[in-house]
Amino acid sequence: MIKIVKRDQPSRAIFFFTPVLAIFLTLVAGGLIFFILGFKPFEALKFFFIVPIADKYGFSELLLKATPLCLIAIGLSFCFKSNNWNIGAEGQLTFGAIVSGGVALLFYEQEGFYILPIVILAGAIGGMLYASIPAILKTYFNTNEILVSLMLVYVSKLILDYLVVGPWSNPEGFNFPETRQFSDSAKLPLLFEGLRIHAGIFLALAAVVISWFVFYKTYLGFQMKVSGFSLKTARYAGYKGKKMIILVFLISGACAGLAGVGEITGPIGQLHREISPDYGFTAIIVAFLGRLHPVGIIFASLVVAITYLGAETAQIFMQIPKYTGQVFQGMILFFLLASDYLLFFKIKFIGSKK
């Protein structure tokens, strides 16, 4: 007989084990889906998860996709830890890209070392501005941040669309929905000849280190943790709730904005209609899979980045639609949430032991 017993305390070992379990279960379920679709499960999984990163180029692509995911997820972990549901990182990424792209376009005929820092800063500010909308509405008007941040995603994409089709479109671009190419000084340098991985990865790594420091070494990190645990306790302890809400939104907006900068000043070097394949939404999964822990998020961003590459490879070699990537991402989160049950409950096999 099986009996389910509540644990006295959530198990710490299982806390870090369940993400691994979730990934494993996702692979099993994914294999099953491939089987139903009429593919050989192991071959399909190989195309999905191993072939894309088997060579140097593939590995560079993996890092290229993991960079924005990691950066955004780090920012989101500030929000999620303190119980703020910012799910509009995609919009903050887009708006950050718009602002930094606009600044880059101002300098399109100029070269100079000062251009890139200004462009990067502009992106962070753009993301912060956009994230401040749900934050301010939440703190001063009691408005649900989930819905506001999400609605703003649609708005940001329409603003981008308007700009690249209309006023910012390349005058010599034959009406393609894209801007001029930025000058080389406004582009993030590539790290290796022939590979697309660029210096944006250092922004992500810096975010990891800084967030680790803030979470575990500062009073702010402690306050966030308490607020996330219980808002009542936080209020009782006299924390300035409003200030913190705005702060965590600004941090996560800045991170998403920087991810936007990476997307447009990295390999592409211009603004166009689709700058992000929903990195902002996928990063939510990355943040959870990484257990809102900076190091965990690094691993999670690599794992989830594979689903993007795998979806592309599987589409080319097996004609599996690329949306399979999203299916995998949804499943990872389902399984992760489900296996969290083991954190709080023990499954006992009675009879075999006694």
Partner 1 sequence: MIIDINFIGLIIASIMASAVPLILASCGELITERSGVLNLGVEGMMIIGAISGFALMTVTGSLIIAVFGAMLAGVLISTIFAFLTQTLITNHVATGLALTIFGIGISAMIGKNFVGIPGKEFPVLFEGLKDTIPLLGPILFGHSIVFYFAFALPFITSYFLKKTKIGLIVRAVGDSPESASNQGINVKLVRYACILYGGAMSGLAGAYLSMIYTPQWIENMTGGRGWIALALVVFSTWNPIKILIGAMIFGGLTIIQFHMQAIGVRIPVQFLTALPYIVTIIVLVVISRDSRKIRLSTPSSLGKSFHKDN
x-marked contacts with partner 1 along 286-315 as a string, rule CB under 8 A: --x---------------------------
Comparing CA positions, the residue from 162, 119, 144 lying closest to residue 257 is 119
From CA 13, how far away is CA 126, in angstroms rounded? 40
The verdict on 341 binding partner 1 (CB under 8 A) reads yes
Phi, psi angle pair for 347, to nearest 5°: -105, 120
Query: According to CB under 8 A, which one of 264, 285, 298, 306 is a site residue for partner 1?
Result: 285
x-marked contacts with partner 1 along 230-269 as a string, rule CB under 8 A: ----------------------------------------
The crossing angle, in degrees rounded to 10, of helices 200-217 and 294-318 is: 140
Shortest Å distance, C-beta 154 to partner 1 = 5
Shortest Å distance, C-beta 57 to partner 1 = 26
Helices (H), the chain: 12-36, 41-49, 56-81, 89-106, 115-141, 145-165, 200-217, 219-229, 231-236, 241-263, 279-289, 294-318, 324-339, 341-344
Q: Which residues contact 95 (CB under 8 A, 6 or more apart)?
A: 126, 127, 129, 130, 156, 159, 257, 260
- Give the distance from CA 166 to its chain's centroid: 29
Neighbour-count burial of 214, counting CB atoms closer than 10 A to its CB (0-12 exposed, 13-18 middle, 19+ buried): middle
The verdict on 32 binding partner 1 (CB under 8 A) reads no
The verdict on 338 binding partner 1 (CB under 8 A) reads yes
The verdict on 159 binding partner 1 (CB under 8 A) reads yes
x-marked contacts with partner 1 along 129-148 as a string, rule CB under 8 A: --------x---xxxx-xxx
Backbone region of residue 218 per phi and psi (left: phi > 0; alpha: psi in -120 to 50; beta: other values) = beta
**349 secondary structure, DSSP code:** E
212 in Cβ contact with 221 (< 8 Å): no
CA angle 45, 46, 49 (to 5 degrees): 75
97 in Cβ contact with 275 (< 8 Å): yes
Query: According to CB under 8 A, which one of 202, 216, 229, 344 is a site residue for partner 1?
Result: 344
The verdict on 21 binding partner 1 (CB under 8 A) reads no
The verdict on 85 binding partner 1 (CB under 8 A) reads yes
The verdict on 171 binding partner 1 (CB under 8 A) reads no
Shortest Å distance, C-beta 307 to partner 1 = 10
x-marked contacts with partner 1 along 318-337 as a string, rule CB under 8 A: ---x-xxxxxxxxx-xx--x
Cβ-based nearer residue to partner 1, 181 or 315: 315
Name residue 45's amino acid. Answer: L
The verdict on 150 binding partner 1 (CB under 8 A) reads yes
Shortest Å distance, C-beta 253 to partner 1 = 16
Query: According to CB under 8 A, which one of 50, 106, 158, 237 is a site residue for partner 1?
Result: 158
Shortest Å distance, C-beta 322 to partner 1 = 8
Applying CB under 8 A, the residues found at the interface with partner 1 are: 6, 85, 87, 137, 141-144, 146-148, 150-152, 154-155, 158-159, 161-162, 165-166, 281-282, 284-285, 288, 321, 323-331, 333-334, 337-338, 340-341, 344
